[in-house]
Structure 1
Amino acid sequence: MKLNVTNETNRLKAVVLGTAKSNGGKPNLADAYDPKSALHIKAGTYPKEEDMLAEMEQVARVLKKYGVEVFRPRVIQNYNQIFSRDIGFVIDDVFVKANILPDRAQEIDAIQPVISRLDNSKTLNLPEDCHVEGGDVMPHGEYLFVGTYRGEDYSDYITARTNPKAVEALQKAFPNKQVKSFNLRKSNTAPKENALHLDCCFQPVGNKYAIIHKNGFLEEEEYQWLVQLFGVENVFEIDKQEMFDMTSNIFSISPKLVISDAHFKRLNSWLRGKGITVEEVNYREIAKQEGLLRCSTLPLIRE
């Protein structure tokens, strides 16, 4: 398999879509990985497996409708494998294995049949002290956008998933890219004050547009740099509630075609106004785990 991912929006040819089968049910509150999951555990509204299965099958049907080759992970019993984006990512023609939370380490084994089809010279393992998850990594042509957290209290945040060492390692591994990192706002307890990954507060869409939430960024100048890169007129600003709802976490099949949650009325209307076709699905249950459409997809090949 010849990998190719140079941006977030080129025509998608092959993707790994996670699975909600045998996802282990509601975790203990102490085992929650993020504040939004914790909120729903406490409220008794944590999503049921059958509902998440139905939501993910909607996405599988849309992908297949447009001729995308869809791979699924091998099912591990009683294990959450929904968010395939986190376990690895493709930059150009290289598959990078992510260094994720230790409790999630088995997830990469479940896509070994895909990895085994790759040229060994095109897979990259970063050093163990380089923490990184795919939700924080976005190829964008000559740029590589990377969400991170630079605070000295990094280890205090279970929501801090990509460290500055990983940013440095990615720059070294891809010297042809301009690696631009963004210091993200983190909270273990307040989901509306937590940008779990870069794609929870920002995502390019179409040929020149972007979705962004200002408060997700700790550094004003880094937020402004993105706005200027895309142009103020091309940026769709979302508020705290919309970030909480995961509005920036849609998924592009092509510059003219996206999968989005039907709940995102304002965004979907804006996208259609820009000539982008929106395939709507219901992802409200999966959203309760602080992840959405981009989080549950791992693109392997784009044109």
Structure 2
Amino acid sequence: MNQTLMSTTEFVLLCRVDSQKKSYTIAVLTMVYLVTLFGNFLVILVIAMNPQLQKPMYPMYVGIAILATIDLVGSTNITPKLIAILLDRVAIPYGLCLLQMFLVLYVGATESLLLAFMACDRYVAVVHPLRYSTLVTKRTVWAAGTLLNIVSAAFVLTNLIFVTELSFCNTNILNYCFCDYSSLVKIACNENPKYFRILSVTSFVFGICPIAFILVSYTRIAYAALKISSVDGKRKTFNTLTTHLLVVGLFNIPLLMSYMLTGIGVKLTTEAYNTMIIVANIVPPMFNPIIYSFRNKVIRISIQKLTHCMQYL
């Protein structure tokens, strides 16, 4: 596979999985994907059909609905192709590879900024409750959503432009389970530090900054919550805080672990590394709606009402 023509028209995804575990892995991936589709569609449907979820906590529930939409897109972008690879359909056309890479980057960047915005919303609600209705309005939410998408798109398009400059003259084999910017740069013939420099900038903007902001915000929220005299008020505040931190942890910890282990010199097999990346990308979209369904009383009650109504149809 050293032909230049092939390297520029398609890529081969080398997703190593033990042949004895393939059938089991396909079954698990299929189940995870179906649960992800059902759970996130249900959350979006419940929020869209229930006007009470739009006030007075409008931004939080809009954020949950957007998160569910992002999870649907991200999971659909990766999981069906993973299943196809395990069925030995390992080739992916150049254009589809770039599209998958674009969506992977865009979904990750958007979700990271969205979680930071949701932390900001909770910060204002707890620390400045009397000013919440004037500071956080529908206009504010739409403006934040627009800015969030513009910033994410700008960085992702930069990555995409860089990839289109690459030439693949040695190999078209990616030691990865889906098309990823860094894996494409590694097999390219181009030797320019700018292609890796953008990774550092992207990691800082969409990785370190949002996590730092969330931790600082929630530390301040926890401090403010301790001053609340009402036991019920404290419980609700800490319940919201822990729910959001669970989602943030699911999104960040698996990815951080894979990078940290590699960074400190732990030698992971390709199969082990791929497994960690797969888990980081497909497990959070499945668990996010479950977390919100069980830990958010309003959503839980709304789902129960919807289920009850459907029984009479």
The structure number with the bigger radius of gyration is 2
Length-normalised TM-score, structure 2: 0.30
Length-normalised TM-score, structure 1: 0.30
Relative to its length, the structure with more helix (as a share) is 2
Of the two structures, which has the highest relative contact order with CA contacts closer than 8 Å and spacing of 6 or more? 2
